Amino acid sequence: MRRLRWYWGALVLACVALLAGFFVFFGSESKPGQPQPRQGPPGTGPLTVVAMGDSTVSGEGAGQYTAATNGQGGNWCHRSPNAFVEKVAVPGVTAHVNFGCSGAPAEQVALGDAKQWTEGSQAQQLAALVKDHRVAAVVIAVGANDEPKFSNQVNECFKAWFNAGGPPCSTALKQTWQSKVDAMVPKVAKAVSDVKAVLAQAGYVPADYQLILQSYAAPIGPDLPEDLRTLNGCPFRTEDLRWIAQTGIGVLSSGLKAAAQQAGARFLDLAKAGLKHEACSGGANPATEWFTRLTLQLADLGHVERAGHALQESFHPNAAGHAAIANCLTEFVAAKEGNATCLAGADGKLHAVPEVVAR
């Protein structure tokens, strides 16, 4: 019996010694002096939120454009201090950087030689930024200027309003819109993946930052006062506005969500963000609107180099719209994971409503 006791005692001691060796080799959470996981992004400089993409990011329509992006040297990126990235409030973030450029396609956001209004790759601009900034989040909105060519479609719908005897613009769009969006998806996914590659090259791992792809809000809705369905505000046919708001924007958002999934980014859906705040929806009170009506800069018509941009601000989020989007984006960043939809709450503000994932 004594021998058996000795045997079990020796076995227990051997197990204790083995476990002690295991914790010495692999470390223990309570061991003094053990390196702790780094807090936040690598590098030096201010903690920063970066926005990349096209006019919905740059601040087109929000006014007060920086001189360097308001036609100077041919640069019409129209970056505004009222853009949503400037209004996002994230704990610890002290810097806000906007690389957005009006009219930018996905190719100009990605790595490569594509330029938009004299500016080179936004991903390459990010590569330069991380040398002296610590990036906490990157928000991207792009794709509408690729195959969907959203501004071109708005022009076609404008022409259809003029030509009352012809078909509405949505007649043709119904046949081609899905294929246009499908062709856009891989281009957006590549642009988002290139942004990830830039940060990985700089030593970032996915846990260091948030990568967000957001979609677009419908700038005009179908329920407009008839006296504003003119050159005084929103010259479009009701059936075209209904198709854009109820179908077109939704299909575009679904395509962008697919691109986000392919590239490993979070997705923020803005398809219904402008509901009841679209251009012309306020009637005699445009202060309630989050999007610009048909806007013509008359002063620009007297200058050859500016005349072609006199309508550029039309049907984009205005300063109030960007502030509303910033509120939703702030909540989305705070959530740290998952997808969400920007929807208006009882308080009149946009909130990030988490996506319910079926299990």
**Residue 35, domain member (yes or no):** no
Q: Is residue 142 part of a domain?
A: yes
Quote the pLDDT of residue 199.
Answer: 98
Q: Are 263 and 290 spatial neighbours (Cβ–Cβ below 8 Å)?
A: no
How many domains does one find in the chain?
1
pLDDT at 34: 58
Residue 26 lies in a domain: no
Q: Classify residue 93: in a domain, yes or no.
A: yes
Contact 54, 100 (CB under 8 A): yes
pLDDT at residue 24 in the model = 31
pLDDT at 25: 31
Rounded to whole angstroms, the Cα distance separating 86 from 109 reads 19
Q: pTM score, two decimals?
A: 0.88
**In the 8-state DSSP scheme, what is residue 140?**
E
Expressed as residue numbers, the domain containing 132 is 41-354
As a whole number of angstroms, the distance between CA 165 and CA 160 comes to 9
Looking at residue 299, its pLDDT comes to 86
CB 317 within 8 A of CB 77: no
Backbone angles phi, psi at 343, to 5 degrees: -135, 145
Q: What is the pLDDT of residue 32?
A: 52
pLDDT profile of the chain (359 residues), mean per 10:
43 38 35 60 95 98 97 97 97 97 98 98 98 98 96 89 92 96 98 98 96 96 90 94 94 98 98 96 94 91 85 95 98 97 96 80
pLDDT at position 7, please? Answer: 41
- Taking the C-alpha atoms of residue 335 and residue 287, their distance in angstroms, rounded to an integer, is 31
What's the confidence (pLDDT) of residue 150? Answer: 86
Q: Could you tell me if residue 12 is inside a domain?
A: no
Hey, which residues are catalytic here? 55, 316
In a domain, 95, yes or no: yes
* Domain assignment present for 2: no
> According to the model, what pLDDT value does residue 37 have?
62
- Which CATH number goes with the domain that contains 224? 3.40.50.1110
Alpha helix (H) residue ranges in the chain = 2-26, 55-58, 84-87, 106-109, 122-129, 150-162, 170-201, 238-243, 249-263, 304-307, 319-335
Which pLDDT value is given to residue 3?
A: 45
Query: Is 23 contained in some domain?
Result: no
| pLDDT given at position 56 | 96
